[in-house]
Amino acid sequence: MTKLNQIIAVEKGVKSKSLQDITAAHHKVQKPALLAGISRTYQPKDEEGEQLPPESARVQFKAEEALREMSASLTRLFDVTATKDWANCSARADVTVDGRTVVAEVPVSYLLFLEKQLTDLHTFVKKLPVLDASESWSLDPSTDWWKTEPVRTIRTKKVPRNHVKAEATEKHPAQVDVYYEDVPIGYWTTVKFSGALPARRVNELLERVEKLQHAVKFAREEANGAEVTDRRVGDAVFGYLFG
C-alpha cells in the first residue's frame, strides 16, 4: 500500500515535469510555421514553356497533438495530487456538469487544485491556433491536416515589344519605343495545409473548460473542508475536456 509521504515525495517532480511539457506544447502551438503546410505544382502554358519543380512543405505539428500531449502529461499530475488530497481530507463534494458527475466525492484541497489547473487550461485553449476564416477548409483524411481547395494562378513573363513612333526616312532613322508586356506562360496550382483548429472546436473546448470551472467552484462551496488509495482522476477530466 502506498503511503502518503511517498506521494508527497514524488509530487514535486511530477509538477515540474508537467510544467515543462505544458510550456513546450504552448510554444509549439504559437509557432505558425510548424502548423502550416503547402503543396504547389506548376504547369507551363505549352510544351515549350519552362518546367518548374513542384513545391511542398509538410505540417510539422498539429494543435490536436498538443492537446493529446498535454492530457498525457497532466493526467499523471492530476492523479498524484488527487491521491494526496483524498488522504488529507474527509469533506468532499461531487463535480457535476449538466447532470453528469465528472469526478465524485472530491476533497476541498483537490477542488482548489482543479480551480488553478482549469484557469491555466482556459488560457491555453483560448490561445489555440484557429484556421484562417478567409479560407475554405476541409479535413484531408490522407494526411489528417486541414486543407484548402486548389487555387490556380497565372504565371507571366515580361516580353519586350516595339512601338514605332515615326517611320524611318532618308534623313532620319525610325523612332521606336520599347515596352514590356506581361504574357501568360504557365499556371500555379496551390493547396494550403494547416494543423490549426476550426473556431467551432476551440469554442467548444472553451465552453467545456468554463462549465467545469463553474462546477468545481460550486462543489468547493458545498464541501466542508495514513495509507492512501491511488486515485485515477486525470483520465476522467481530460476525457471530458478534450474527448
- Predicted confidence at residue 147, as pLDDT, reads 96
% residues pLDDT > 90 (the chain): 52
The Cβ of residue 187 has, within 10 Å, a number of other Cβ atoms equal to: 15
Q: What one-character-per-residue DSSP string does the chain give?
A: --BHHHHHHHHHHHHHHHHHHHHHHHHHHT-HHHHEEEEEEEEESSTTSPP---EEE-----HHHHHHHHHHHHHHHHHHHHHHHHHH---EEEEEETTEEEEEEEEHHHHHHHHHHHHHHHHHHHTS-B--TTS-EEEETTTTEEEEPPEEEEEEEEEEEEEEEE---SSS--EEEEEEEEEEEEEEEEEEEE--B-HHHHHHHHHHHHHHHHHHHHHHHHS---B------HHHHHHHH--
Radius of gyration of the chain (CA): 30
Say if CB 63 and CB 202 are below 8 A apart. no
Q: Can you tell me the mean pLDDT for 191-214?
A: 96
Supply the pLDDT for residue 47.
Answer: 82
Q: What is the per-residue pLDDT across 2-54, written as a single tens digit (0 to 9) for each?
A: 777 788 788 889 999 999 988 988 888 888 888 899 999 999 988 888 889 99
Separation between Cα atoms, residue 237 and residue 32, nearest integer Å: 29
Question: Mean pLDDT of all residues in the chain?
Answer: 89
Nearest to 138 by CA among 190, 189, 193, 188: 193
pLDDT, one tens digit per residue, over 139-165 is: 999 999 999 999 999 999 999 988 877
Give the whole-angstrom CA distance, residue 209 versus residue 191: 34
pLDDT digits (tens, 9 = 90+) for 52-86: 999 999 998 898 888 888 898 899 999 999 888 88
Residue ranges covered by each domain of the chain: 4-154+193-241
Q: How confident is the model at residue 98 (pLDDT cuts 50, 70, 90)?
A: very high
pLDDT at residue 6, as a whole number: 83
- Tell me what pLDDT residue 86 has: 80
pLDDT value at 225 more than 50: no
The average pLDDT across 83-96 equals: 82
